[in-house]
Amino acid sequence: MNRLIVHLRAYRTNAGLTQAQLAEAVGVSRKTINTIENGVFTPSTILALTLADELGCSVHDLFALPD
């Protein structure tokens, strides 16, 4: 299985949000944001869309498949 490339941390820090603030905004735990950023946990489509919506970008900006 291809490992997902995650740009969530960069977009979150650009938005000036901590992991805890983003977690509260999208209704998950801070540890879930942490594991997503580290590529340990792959979010559902709904959570990926919610994260993109909260950060004002598209899902493709946050997540990508390796070339």
Residues with Cβ within 8 Å of 38's Cβ and at least 6 positions away in sequence, in order, are 6
Residue 31 or 60: the one with the smaller Cβ distance to other proteins is 31
44 is a contact residue toward other proteins (CB under 8 A): yes
Site residues for other proteins, 14-43, by CB under 8 A, read: 23-24, 27-32, 34-35, 40-41, 43
With respect to other proteins, which residue has the nearer C-beta, 24 or 54?
A: 24
Q: Counting Cβ atoms within 10 Å, is residue 24 exposed (0-12), middle (13-18) or buried (19+)?
A: middle
Task: Count the site residues for other proteins by CB under 8 A.
Answer: 15
- The pair of structure tokens assigned to 18 is 């901590």
Binding residues (CB under 8 A) for other proteins: these are: 23-24, 27-32, 34-35, 40-41, 43-44, 47
